Amino acid sequence: MLLRTSPTVWICASQYEHVPHAPIPLVLADEPSIFGRLAIEALDAVRMRWRKAYVVSNLLGPELRVLGDSDGLPRLPDVNYYL
């Protein structure tokens, strides 16, 4: 049974500026994490370079902002939560 569908978004530090054609520095959650896999698959699908910059136990932090299409990143798929 589908409980809900939630959007998945790119987040970054408030002062981060994406440099076109530079590898995207990814901060990834500890495995297992569906969100890291979704990000890597989306970047690989559009042949954008990326690098693992850091691995963390949680992705919460102060002064984060959401990146969108205007930042040149591919759209991430929604995540379905099932019971």
> Confidence class of residue 18 from pLDDT cuts 50, 70 and 90?
confident
**Which CATH number goes with the domain that contains 44?**
3.40.190.10
For residue 80 the two structure tokens come to 């379905």
How high is the pLDDT of residue 69? 83
Domains of the chain: total: 1
How far apart, in Å, are the Cα atoms of 38 and each of 44, 54, 62? Answer: 10, 17, 23
What pLDDT does 74 receive?
A: 93
Q: How does pLDDT run across 37-73, given as a tens digit for each residue? A: 999 999 999 999 999 999 998 878 888 999 888 888 9
Q: Are strands 50-56 and 24-29 parallel, antiparallel or unpaired?
A: parallel
pTM for this entry:
0.84
Domain range for 46: 2-82
Between CA 42 and CA 27 the distance in angstroms is 15
Count CB neighbours of 60 within 10 A: 8
For the chain, what percent of residues have pLDDT higher than 70?
Answer: 100
Q: What are phi and psi of 78, to 5 degrees?
A: -70, 155
